[in-house]
Amino acid sequence: MAENKYCFEYEMKVRDYECDMQGIVNNANYQHYFEHARHEFLQWAGTSFTDLRNNGIEPVVNRIEIDYKNSLHSQDWFICKLYVRKEGIKFVFYQDIYRKSDDKICAKARVETVCINNGKLSRGEELIPFFKDYL
């Protein structure tokens, strides 16, 4: 993932309860971090998951791949960076998490999403007005 393609960054801090017995972030929490960054991206782009849902539009994840590279620890600050591409009916989010203290990549994700509009699969055109500047 080329760093110059990122269109959005969101900074977060690891909370104690997200760590396992080894003192590192449990792998399941990275998916929460990626999801939270996508929701923040939606707001930054001019809408929200709630607004979309209230209008019958449901962006849903249909596939996610995560590669774990380096561990995060309690109290680490990190930055989730992303860019998005339209591939057929899907919006594909490419997301990377970097530890802020040393800029090491901790996790990489490729997240495929589709839109359900009033209960039916759509081509995702509902999101184009919000994403057009970032595709």
Q: Helix, strand or coil for residue 82?
A: strand
Please give the Cα distance from 49 to 38 (Å, whole number).
9
Is 20 one of the catalytic residues?
Answer: yes
In whole angstroms, what is the distance from residue 131 CA to residue 126 CA? Answer: 10
Dihedral (Cα; 49, 52, 55, 58), 10-degree rounding = -80
Q: How buried is residue 25: exposed, middle or buried, by Cβ count under 10 Å (0-12/13-18/19+)?
A: buried
Catalytic residue among 16, 20, 51, 96: 20
Cα atoms found within 13 Å of the Cα of residue 65, Cβ hemisphere only: 4
Give the end-to-end CA distance of the chain in Å, rounded to a whole number. Answer: 15
The residues carrying an active-site annotation are 20
